[in-house]
């Protein structure tokens, strides 16, 4: 599957190279199931304020979170897989807390969002365990392939 990946930089002060996002998404798309739906995928890098607003508007929870995904739907002529909104501010905090690079944490959030669009959930302990296992496998495969996000602060 050849997918169009649209990248929006909506968090000032941090830029994630669109080409690196596209390479990571394409590598995820080549993996065995689960599979993200076909079509254009939008990835937006946002901050705390925007993610809290999205969380409140669409999920009735005004708290800050790391990733929000919006599943797409098929359209005649061009399918839309969905949108992954990644919180750069939360990634920065978590990276410091876990001794991780910002780029590594952002990549994990991108993987997490992609897995949500592929049908995984993390609402129950069992689902969370399956999500974490899928994240570890995907991140390890990306690492083996040398696929990282390029981040400029």
pLDDT (tens digit per residue) in 89-101? 999 999 999 999 9
Number of domains making up the chain: 1
> In CATH, what number is assigned to the domain containing residue 112?
3.40.390.30
**Across 95-115, average pLDDT:** 97
pLDDT at 76 over 90: no
Instruction: Give the integer Cα–Cα distance in Å for 112 and 69.
Output: 9
In SS3 terms, 7-37 reads as EEECCCCCEECHHHHHHHHHHHHHCCCCCCC
Q: What is the pLDDT of residue 77?
A: 76
Q: Which residue has the tokens 């669109």?
A: 18
d(CA 81, CA 95): 28
Domain that holds residue 110: 5-152
pLDDT of residue 1: 67
| pLDDT, tens digit (0-9, with 9 covering 90-100), for 38-58 | 899 999 999 999 999 999 999
- Whether residue 102 contacts residue 151, with contact meaning beta carbons closer than 8 Å, is answered with yes
Report the SS3 class of residue 68: strand
Percent of the chain with pLDDT over 90: 90
**pLDDT surpassing 70 at residue 11:** yes
Instruction: Report the Cα 4 to chain-centroid distance in Å.
Output: 15
Q: What is the mean pLDDT of residues 123-140?
A: 97
The predicted model gives 63-70 an average pLDDT of 96
Host H or E run for residue 45: strand 40-46
DSSP annotation of 81 reads: E
**Which residues touch 123 (CB under 8 Å, ≥6 apart)?**
none
Q: Which residue has the tokens 């968090």?
A: 11
The predicted model gives 68-87 an average pLDDT of: 90
């Amino acid at each position: 599957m050849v997918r169009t990946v649209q990248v929006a930089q909506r968090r000032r002060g941090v830029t994630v190279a669109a080409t690196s996002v596209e390479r990571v998404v394409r590598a995820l798309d080549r993996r065995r199931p689960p599979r993200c739906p076909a079509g254009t995928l939008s990835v937006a890098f946002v901050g705390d304020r925007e993610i809290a607003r999205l969380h409140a508007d669409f999920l009735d929870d005004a708290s800050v979170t790391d990733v929000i995904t919006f599943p797409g739907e098929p359209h005649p002529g061009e399918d839309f897989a969905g949108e992954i909104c990644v919180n750069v501010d939360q990634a920065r905090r978590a990276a410091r807390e876990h001794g991780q690079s910002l780029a590594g944490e952002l990549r994990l959030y991108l993987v997490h969002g992609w897995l949500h669009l592929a049908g995984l959930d993390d609402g129950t302990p069992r689902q969370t365990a399956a999500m974490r296992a899928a994240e570890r496998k995907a991140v390890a495969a990306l690492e083996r392939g040398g696929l990282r996000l390029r981040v400029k602060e």
